[in-house]
Structure 1
Amino acid sequence: MTNSVHTNASAAIALQNLTRTNERLGDVQSRISTGLKVQGAKDNAAIWAIAQQQRAEVGALGAVKQSLDRATSIADVALSAGESVSDLLNQLKEKVVAAKDTSLTTQSRELLNADFQALLKAIASGIDNATFDGGNILNGSLSGGINFLANADASSFVTLSAKNLTLGGGIIDLTTASDSLLTITAADQALTRLDASIGKLNAALGEIGAQAKQIDAHKTFVGKLMDTLESGIGNLVDADLAKESARLQSLQVQQQLGAQALSIANQAPQIILSLFRGG
């Protein structure tokens, strides 16, 4: 190797090696600080593209889960209101059966009828207020129910059917205008309609309950699918921090050795001076 004060090949090689070590050290430090081995398309274009596509899928499934959460809330409110109505119908039956007693005085019958009418108004009020986020599937305002997202492509839906539980709406046949307990005949007619209403109400609530259970099951599936996709993304892009820690220590040693090698190489021109010293 030529000894020259213009060109120091050893120093150039040492500098190249130190630069490569510093670059690798920077990459390791970046992976440790972010926890990712693939942070962008520059790191691995194919893996990054796959990961981005799956992240979009997870985001879309998040919207599906939000829709299903809303469906669950609407169903829970509807079932709570429906069960309250069922309890009120049971109380109505007690009043109607009591009104069939032929020994009742006019005053007693009027008091029973007042209680009867009050319970009917309570049913109407409960149905009107069975609303969550503007959705009410019990007050007759919806004909076909409400559709909620079921998949990430928004091409499939789950439906929560609407049931008209208003007075005289087809399920509850009783109304405040046409039903009373002021006479035995009126009580007989009210009892017939009441028994039919109880049966239809129980069937309607059973259907809503079954749909709510289906929605809960699908929401659980969507949650598990999101977890699986996120795990898959992690397998593609997450860094193995145990390995990165070992690499960091190794590269730090290489960096120190490279710096020392460069320092030694930079001292080589000093040897040339000794060639020109007098004896």
Structure 2
Amino acid sequence: MSIFSTFIRVSPSVTTALEVLKDTQTKLTNAERQMSSGLRVQTVKDNATYWKISTMTRTDIGSISSVQDALGLAASTVSTASTGVSSAIDVVTEIRTKLVSAYETSVDKSKLNDEISQLKQQLRSIGESATFNGVNWTVLRDGADPTEPHEVPGSLIRGSHGTVSIGMLNYAGVTATTGAITANDARYLIDDQSSGTGGYGVLTSTAFATAAGSAKNYVLISTKNGSTSGQVEISLDANTTKGAIVDMVNTVTGMLQQLNTIGSAFGSLESRINLQTEFAKNLSDSLTSGVGKLVDADMEQQSSKVLALQTQQQLGLQSLSIANASYNTVTQLFQNL
């Protein structure tokens, strides 16, 4: 039973005191609710416009948070691939150095070849190990389309009519989809597709030997599953001629140039992801701050307001008690007449 239900008989002064007390209680309840929730706009009835804006913006903030998570995964994936390419560049550079040293007639080419063989195995290990969360951007396998770019969510875009789209960041796929595969089409370290000849992998493509005008279709390592007909893995033996060594060196030089191009692309994408991650964080903070300005309660102000209303409530109860007592006294006087 409420504190008001005991006052059944009323007079104008009692009615006035009761209404004042009811109004004070309503304001106190609202102030206490804002204190407990920290929100001055908690439901649509508090302020329909602000409630709608804040609800929509909170949805965007949640989506941006998901984009941030995706960017974190993408950053790790691209960083892993970039590390793989950088390591491959170091190894291929070492291979070229050993091929150049084979020009010297007194060098034991067989021993050099043993070292080159170990380095080639290291290249395959690098490519296959450059995997994060099951994703590898350096080895092309069956089921993947080399013409499709690798894409990761980069931003949330809300249109003027309320439509939402996701902006994507991508690492370019093969530019040419028809005609012969060229050196520029080699966007992976290794192409292990069973349907091809390794042309989309720098280390498995014959395009670099062709571009260098080599007498043979040299590759650094062979594709595991594709056709290797007519291909020759770069290697040395006692009978390797200087002309063949020149062809190998020129072929490997072309590979290095393309590896640097790939490494640069990964580096640019890494930078873009880092910038987008920082932007997404700042955007989320700005939206959160904007929502707060619309719906958050001023806790210091509400605290003072609650104390003031509690005091008013006590005074109102006293006023109501006095008014009711006065009314009862007058009533008793009339009853004695």
Greater displacement, 226-235 / 152-161: 152-161
Which amino acid letter does the alignment assign opposite residue 198 of structure 1?
Answer: L
Q: Normalising by structure 1, what TM-score?
A: 0.88
Match of 1:55 in 2: 58
Give the superposition deviation at 1:200: 1.4
Give the superposition deviation at 1:245: 2.1
2:233 to 149, 163, 178: 178
Give the superposition deviation at 1:277: 6.5
Which of the two has greater strand per residue? 2
Which amino acid letter does the alignment assign opposite residue 214 of structure 1?
Answer: R
Aligned length: 271
Match of 1:146 in 2: 150
Between the two structures, name the one with larger relative contact order (CA 8 Å, sep ≥ 6): 1
- Give SS of 1:41's match: coil
1:6 to 1:184, Cα distance in 2 relative to 1, 3 A: closer
- Give SS of 1:148's match: strand
Give the superposition deviation at 1:271: 4.3
- Give SS of 2:139's match: coil
- Give SS of 2:152's match: strand
1:180–1:187: 8 Å Cα contact kept in structure 2? no
Which amino acid letter does the alignment assign opposite residue 317 of structure 2?
Answer: A
Greater displacement, 112-121 / 166-175: 166-175
2:155–2:276: 8 Å Cα contact kept in structure 1? no
Give the superposition deviation at 1:231: 1.2
Give the superposition deviation at 1:254: 0.5
Greater displacement, 247-256 / 143-152: 143-152
2:177 aligned with 1:159: no
Structure 1 runs not aligned, ≥5 long? none
Match of 1:217 in 2: 275
2:171–2:265: 8 Å Cα contact kept in structure 1? no
Match of 2:36 in 1: 33
Which amino acid letter does the alignment assign opposite residue 166 of structure 1?
Answer: I
Q: Deviations over 1:121-165 (max 9, x none)?
A: 111111112111222211124412311223322343211235211
Output the aligned Cα RMSD: 2.3
For 1:98-137, list aligned pairs within 5 A: 98-104=101-107, 108-137=108-137
Q: Deviations over 1:71-95 (max 9, x none)?
A: 2111100111111111111221232
2:54–2:291: 8 Å Cα contact kept in structure 1? yes
Q: Normalising by structure 2, what TM-score?
A: 0.74
Which of the two has greater helix per residue? 1
2:154–2:273: 8 Å Cα contact kept in structure 1? no
Give the superposition deviation at 1:63: 2.1
1:140–1:166: 8 Å Cα contact kept in structure 2? yes
Which amino acid letter does the alignment assign opposite residue 121 of structure 1?
Answer: Q
Identity of aligned residues (%): 29
Greater displacement, 268-277 / 153-162: 268-277
2:45 aligned with 1:42: yes
Match of 2:20 in 1: 17
Which amino acid letter does the alignment assign opposite residue 181 of structure 1?
Answer: L
Give the superposition deviation at 1:24: 0.6
